Amino acid sequence: MTRIGLLGGSFNPAHRGHRRVTLAAIDALGLDEAWWLVSPGNPLKPAAGMAPLAVRLASARAMARRTPIRASDIEARLGTRYTADTLRQLRRRYPRKRFVWLMGADNLAQFHRWRDWRGIARMMPIAVIARPGYDDDALAAPAMAWLRRFQHPRSAAKTWTTWSLPAIVLLRFRPDPTSATALRAVDPDWHRRHPGAGRSS
Ligand SMILES: Nc1ncnc2c1ncn2[C@@H]1O[C@H](COP(=O)(O)OP(=O)(O)OP(=O)(O)O)[C@@H](O)[C@H]1O
Ligand SMILES: O=C(O)c1ccc[n+]([C@@H]2O[C@H](COP(=O)([O-])O)[C@@H](O)[C@H]2O)c1
């Protein structure tokens, strides 16, 4: 049974923070691989300022090179945009794989606004990765009021395939302050130089 971590994101662009925290999660959770689901468009984020999917995917592939991380545009191919729909389809398509949903603490703070977020938690365990500046928000997140009772200790992270659902674990690695917002602020034209630029999404 292959153990796979799923990290959904805009990857606008992918950065070394994504790579570092994903590699640390692979280690902490005993994963065979991680898939980066490069989103055709986060339903809660404005499309303005979003580079084309082909460019974001190319940046994710480059950042994931020589690791067990696979960058994928499967959401565009499945025609899904909401995470609950994507995860339902992935489970149907890959019944022999075991999935865990990975997300940074900033996403947990917003999680109660996602479509069918409780349904997501009933589909697969959730591993939240600490992120500088967001950890207090995450612990106080509206979704945590419900998720807290399903929390497992970090020390048991490798046993996630045995957990009954819902299940959540809060992971803490060496904090990585990298963010795509900060990278775009210093290099707003990054996508024009990147492989894949010029192709439509
Ligand atoms: N430095 C980091 N530490 C922990 N988690 C991270 C880090 N960077 C990104 N993530 C997580 O990776 C996933 C995808 O992130 P995303 O592509 O939105 O990057 P971002 O840096 O958060 O972008 P932006 O600043 O544009 O919102 C999210 O779950 C996010 O929380
Ligand atoms: O399903 C939803 O309602 C939903 C709302 C907001 C964000 N998401 C997902 O959260 C992941 C992180 O998005 P982002 O833009 O913060 O990198 C990405 O996979 C999005 O599709 C999903």
Query: What pairs with residue 37 in β-bridges?
Result: 8, 72
Q: What is the pLDDT of residues 150-168, one digit of tens each?
A: 999 999 999 999 999 999 9
Q: How many helices (H) and strands (E) does the chain have?
A: 10, 7
Task: Please give the angle made by the CA atoms of 144, 138 and 114, to the nearest 5 degrees.
Answer: 65
Pick 91 or 199 by higher pLDDT. Answer: 91
DSSP-based three-state secondary structure for 102: strand
- Could you count the other beta carbons within 10 Å of the beta carbon of residue 117? 19
Identify which of 57, 126, 128, 179 to mutate to test ligand 1's pocket (most ligand atoms within 8 A of the CB): 179
Given a cut of 50, is residue 201 above it in pLDDT? no
- Residue 142: band (very low, low, confident or very high) from pLDDT cuts 50, 70, 90: very high
Single out the residue of 42, 68, 44 nearest to residue 56, CA to CA.
42
- Residue 89: band (very low, low, confident or very high) from pLDDT cuts 50, 70, 90: very high
d(CA 62, CA 54): 12
Q: What share of the chain is helix, strand, coil (3-state, %, to 5)?
A: 45, 20, 35
Q: What is the pLDDT of residues 171-191, one digit of tens each?
A: 999 899 999 999 999 999 999
The residue whose CA is least distant from atom 4 of ligand 2 is 114
d(CA 43, CA 59): 21
Average confidence score pLDDT of the chain: 94
How would you classify residue 196: left for phi > 0, otherwise alpha for psi between -120 and 50, otherwise beta? left
Domain ranges of the chain: 2-193
What is the reported pLDDT for 44?
A: 86
- Distance (angstroms) between ligand 2 centre and the Cα of 11 equals 11
Tokens 């992935």 belong to 90
Question: What is the number of the ligand 1 atom nearest to the C-alpha of 181?
Answer: 25
Identify which of 59, 81, 83, 113 to mutate to test ligand 2's pocket (most ligand atoms within 8 A of the CB): 83
What 8-state DSSP symbol labels residue 37?
E
| CATH fold for domain 2-193 | Rossmann fold (3.40.50)
Given a cut of 50, is residue 200 above it in pLDDT? no
Written as six digits, the tokens of 158 are 């490798």
What 8-state DSSP symbol labels residue 173?
-
- Distance (angstroms) between ligand 2 centre and the Cα of 143 equals 15
Tokens 């940046």 belong to 59
- Distance (angstroms) between ligand 2 centre and the Cα of 8 equals 6
ipTM over 0.85: yes
- Distance (angstroms) between ligand 1 centre and the Cα of 108 equals 11
- Distance (angstroms) between ligand 1 centre and the Cα of 104 equals 6
Question: What is the number of the ligand 1 atom nearest to the C-alpha of 178?
Answer: 1
- Distance (angstroms) between ligand 1 centre and the Cα of 69 equals 15
Strand extents, DSSP E, the chain? 2-9, 33-38, 69-72, 97-104, 126-129, 151-152, 168-171
The bound ligand whose nearest atom lies closest to the alpha carbon of 179 is 1
- Residue 197: band (very low, low, confident or very high) from pLDDT cuts 50, 70, 90: low
The residue whose CA is least distant from atom 1 of ligand 2 is 82
